Amino acid sequence: MLIELIGLKKLIGPIAILGILAALFLNFIHWNDPAATFYNDMYQVNKATMVFTGIILMLAVFLVILGGDFYKEEKKYWSDYLAIYLFAVSGAVLMVGAHHLLMTFIGIEILSVSLYVLAGSNRMKLESNEAGMKYFLMGSFASGILLFGMVLMYGATGTLHYEKLNQVLFIDELVSKNVGFLHSGLIMILVGFFFKVSAAPFHFWSPDVYQGSPSIVTAFMATIAKIAAIASLYLVIAQVFPAMHHLYDILLILVSVSTICIGNILAIVQTNFKRMMAYSGISHAGFMLLGILAVDFNQWHVMAYYTLGYGLANIIGFGVAIPVFRSMKSENVHAFNGLFFKRPILAVALTIALLSMASIPPLAGFWGKYYILTAALSKDLLLIVLIAIVNTVLSVYFYFRIFVAMYGRKADNTPIDVSGGYKAFLILLVLLLVAISLMPDMISNCL
Amino acid sequence: MISILLLILPLLVALLTLVGPKKSVGLFASILSFASLALALYAYWEFTTNGAGAFNFNLVWIKNPAINLNFTVDGIAILLIVMTNICMPFIHLSVNNRDLKQPRIYHFLISIIHFALLGVFLSNDLLLYYVFWELTIIPAYFMLLYWGGRNRKRITFKFFLYTVLGSLLMLVSIIYLYANYAKGGSIDSVSIFNMNVNVDAQNWIFIGFMMAFAVKLPLIPFHTWQANTYHMAPTQGTMILSGLLAKMALFSIVRWMMPGLPDATRYFAPYILVIAVLGVIYAGVIAIMQKDMKKLFAYASLAHISLMVAGLFSLNAAGIQGAFTQAFSHGFNTVALFICADIIQSRVGTTELSKLGGIRKIAPKFTTAFFIVMFATAAIPFSNSFIGELVTLYGVFQYSALWALIASLSLVLGAVFMLRMFRQAVLGPDNPNTAGFKDLGGSEQMSIYPFVILIFVFGLVYQPVFDLIDGTALNVINKVVQIPIP
């Protein structure tokens, strides 16, 4: 239902936006009678999937607007790129809404294949080719592992349907007979997902790919792709594998802690803005994994809020970075030098976005972390909370390097071209971020 | 309703300064914030005649986590609000017509800090309080980063890292309290009295809170950000940091930490008292050796604030009373001192003591004002800080005569470093560096004389200040000292 609507819109920007908006509307149309399933019970609609889908579609609208600006010099290819974007978005939507592991896999592949193409789409640039190749090789390998895990699951249980699998896994007899299959299957599925969300130790692709890809594609990966993977993993784990929590608990703890630490520590030494954002994205992925571990399924709105805040802040960050990169012909942190003098609006927008990502209250990033850490504390993960807090302080370091550049360093004379409409769009995004910051309970209020 | 008005006014000032006149925006902001001053005086009158009733305000903001826009005041809050609102117009005024980059944004940030500060004093909800607490530091950071002096990037970074680390540890404590003791509701200044936190947990929560406060105050050994930051910061930033923001931590200790964690407070009080008294001596000695006026003031402030902390943790009513009386006057004195330092810096271009001197003859008005402020800081009788320091020492004395004796060295040390500073900076033979030193101009007179008057006023009339502190202090002490200290 949603997919066709998006997939058909191969025309230019405004129509695509209208299409996504229509999908957004259709998405929420069943708000009051949720729990419907489609496609032979393989696609589900409930409030959790609706909200996650809504977040993804909303971010998609913003990305298409950004893309219109990004590709304004090569209008010729814009429609092709746009088509691939929309495919990717539909893949993300499928991942979130899947009710059958096979459907999840199809969603992941639609998203990933589109992103392989997009990452390498700047053919004239060596890094872009490298990014596409690297992402493709490693990504398809991860997909293979994921699929193999699912196969093992199927071999042991005879089903991949979320609910049926969930019930089967509670049958002790069956589980004890197939314990090897089930455990290795779950671990492989998790590994596949860890790769997609760039969790340590499967994160090595992310900085290179982020750096090499065109900035708009990086923004896409940092927001929609990551959020879809996180949401999908969260839904899978919460709906399918509660019976096996003793196994994934310890895995998720190890992975999330190492992801948070590695992301933050390595972000400190980066000089390229996109690499820095990649590592910051890794550390945020760590926090979200902590959320997957700690947040019970009836509290899913917490995860939705975190992803929403994270996605918006990232979109603003890249929204500011793209014109700066284009005008300064550099993706280094120094490209932001003296931005406040040149373009105060851009500087302030980026400031608010980064403050949110550094989880300074009362911005959305703070509330998101607050929720997740509260959930973690209620699960007696005090040590991990402390590690996460120390890492938050570290994260302040690299976000504030940007502030130092924007406010503390002298500007050079290169002007930064931004159109009025683009600035208005950024202001709108910032207002949206501030609005959701002031109402951190809005998702749970709507339920 | 008054609470809301108190909060909104600085925010309005902030917005208006953004669109205000580019020239003399300081004067503009100052005039606007006199409205806050007037309101604070009215608030004082209202509080002393009718109690806190008119201040209470409660509105649900966020349901999960339960955060209400809940405001109230107690005597200490009123005292500090009055102090803040008196200082603010003059802080705005002191930078009027200076050659400043982006003056509007400068004043905007000052007003935002003002707003957040009042939020800290007014909020009656632990998480709301935390939000305001963090909000004070963001504009301060940008002020320092953008308008600061040499090495500002490194120094502001250190400053920010320290404060954020402290705040986040406090956040862990707060989350812990909410997760285990709030029962899904919010924690306000009444419920925190009845929380009965597990005794073992209390110590850890206490450490989390105390880290935030120890950085903000600062206490040794968390003071290393302070001297450089004060030295490098634009003078208005320093005024706010030392005169106003440090008081926030004192306030929070009494408002949130002591009633919530009585057992831990009793357990840790002796250690903190000792650290604080050592801080008094340490800072005093270092201040004597400083070569730069602003750094000297920074260490002087460290010494005074350490003494206040010693007063608080002597765990008796006199200690708390003295500490807040002193905090009240310390706010004025620090702001006034830094106004003087700012005047010197803007005229001579440096605050290094060895390059100053010989100002007395050419600038008598300035010298007189500076002299009075300096004496007040050194806690000479009939100045405002004398009585506070005396009562604080009395409080410490009740706890332990030995430490009171050591702490009372602060009076001597204070006199030594202030007089030495004054001799080098103002007196002495004519000096080519200061040859063209103009006496106080119009807006400078307006910004410094009120403080001189206040110094005398509160040197003579201090009973109202005591009365304000009394109730809260007794409440908290009764909660903390259920069992007499051995």
Give tens-digit pLDDT for B9-62. 888 888 888 887 777 777 888 888 888 888 888 888 888 888 777 778 888 887
Question: Is B35 found in the same domain as B101?
Answer: yes
Residues of B with Cβ-Cβ distance to A400 under 8 angstroms: 157, 160
Q: Residue length, chain B?
A: 486
Helix (H, G, I), strand (E, B) or coil at B221: coil
**pLDDT by residue (tens digit) across B106-157?**
888 888 999 999 999 988 888 888 989 988 888 888 888 888 777 888 888 8
Q: Which residue of A has its CA nearest to B151?
A: A408
**Residue B239 pLDDT exceeds 80:** yes
- Domain containing residue A116: 2-446
Residues of A within 8 A of B179 (CB-CB) are: 374, 377-378
Q: pTM for the full model? A: 0.86
Q: Which residue of B has its CA nearest to A338?
A: B146
**How confident is the model at residue A1, as a pLDDT?**
44
Residue B233 sits in the same domain as residue B304: no
B224 lies in the same domain as B273: no
Q: Are B322 and B461 in a shared domain?
A: yes
- Specify whether B18 is located in the same domain as B71: yes
Hey, are the CB atoms on A396 and B164 less than 8 Å from each other?
yes
A441/B179 Cβ within 8 A? no
Question: What number of other Cβ atoms are within 10 A of residue A432's Cβ?
Answer: 17
SS3 of residue B24 by DSSP: coil
- Dump strand ranges (E) for B213-314: none
Note whether B300 and B239 are same-domain residues: no
Tell me: do B15 and B39 sit in the same domain. Answer: yes
Which residues of chain B lie closer than 8 angstroms to A392, CB-CB?
Answer: 164, 168
B178 at the A interface (CB within 8 A)? Answer: yes
Which pLDDT belongs to residue A8? 46
What is the mean predicted confidence (pLDDT) over B240-262? 87
For residue B256, the enclosing domain spans: 1-260
Q: Contacts by A265-272 with C-beta closer than 8 Å and gap 24+?
A: A265/A394, A266/A207, A267/A395, A267/A398, A268/A394, A268/A397, A268/A398, A270/A207, A270/A333, A270/A398, A271/A332, A271/A333, A271/A334, A272/A211, A272/A331, A272/A332, A272/A333
Q: Give, in order, the Cα–Cα distances in Å from A133 to each of A46, A113, A136, A208, B368.
A: 37, 12, 5, 11, 76
Q: Which of B204, B237, B260 is the last residue of a domain?
A: B260
Q: Tell me the average pLDDT of chain B.
A: 83
Q: At which of B218, B234, B260 does a domain end? A: B260
pLDDT in the model for residue A35: 66
Contact across the interface for A404 and B145, Cβ inside 8 Å: yes
CA distance B28 to chain A (A): 23
CB contact under 8 A, A374 and B175: yes
DSSP single-letter state for residue B68: E
* Surface-to-core class of residue A64, CB atoms within 10 Å of its CB (0-12 exposed, 13-18 middle, 19+ buried): buried
Residue B413, pLDDT > 80, answer yes
Please name the helix (run of DSSP H) or strand (run of DSSP E) that holds residue A42, with its range, or none. Answer: none
Task: Indicate whether B249 and B321 sit together in one domain.
Answer: no
Count of the separate structural domains present in chain B: 2
Q: Looking at the structure, do residues B117 and B217 belong to the same domain, yes or no?
A: yes
C-beta neighbour count of A143 within 10 angstroms: 18
Domain count, chain A: 1
Q: Examine the domain organization and report whether B154 and B41 are in the same domain.
A: yes
The residue among B235, B260, B285 that closes a domain is B260
Most B CBs within 10 A among A302, A348, A441, hence the mutation to make, goes to A441
State residue A366 phi and psi, 5-degree precision: -65, -45
Q: Are residues B46 and B145 in the same domain?
A: yes
Residue B64: its chain A contacts at CB < 8 A? 440-441, 444
| pLDDT tens, residue by residue, B271-323 | 999 899 888 888 888 888 888 888 888 888 888 888 888 888 888 888 888 88
Residues B419 and B307 reside in one and the same domain = yes
pLDDT less than 70: residues of chain A: 1-13, 33-35, 75-76
SS3 labels along A129-188 = HHHHHHHHHHHHHHHHHHHHHHHHHHHHHCCCEHHHHHHHHCCHHHHHHCHHHHHHHHHH
The pair phi, psi for residue B359, each rounded to 5°, is: -90, -25
Q: In this complex, which of B65, B164, B169 lies closest to A374 when CB atoms are compared?
A: B65
